[in-house]
């Protein structure tokens, strides 16, 4: 919600394709109000963040 409030669009608007791929790879998780790195995503956080740049 903070993301959308600050940027005027939801996280998925900007990163939906990457988020779906990263979730499919087990690197990120998502709920109605948050996205997060999974345990595996934390280990590969440089890769995850590079996908979002």
Average pLDDT over residues 29-49: 96
pLDDT of residue 6: 94
Average pLDDT over residues 35-47: 98
**Global pTM?**
0.87
Residue 26 has pLDDT above 80, yes or no: yes
Interacting residues of 4 by C-beta distance below 8 A, sequence separation 6+: 10, 11
pLDDT of residue 32: 87
Average pLDDT over residues 9-30: 96
Alpha-carbon distance values, 33 to 21, 43, 44, 50 (Å): 19, 23, 23, 23
Residue 31 has pLDDT above 90, yes or no: yes
């Amino acid at each position: 919600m903070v993301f959308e409030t600050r940027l005027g669009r939801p996280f998925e608007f900007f990163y939906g394709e990457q988020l779906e791929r990263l979730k499919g790879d087990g690197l990120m998780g998502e709920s109605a109000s948050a996205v997060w790195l999974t345990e595996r995503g934390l280990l590969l956080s440089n890769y995850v963040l590079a996908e979002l740049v």
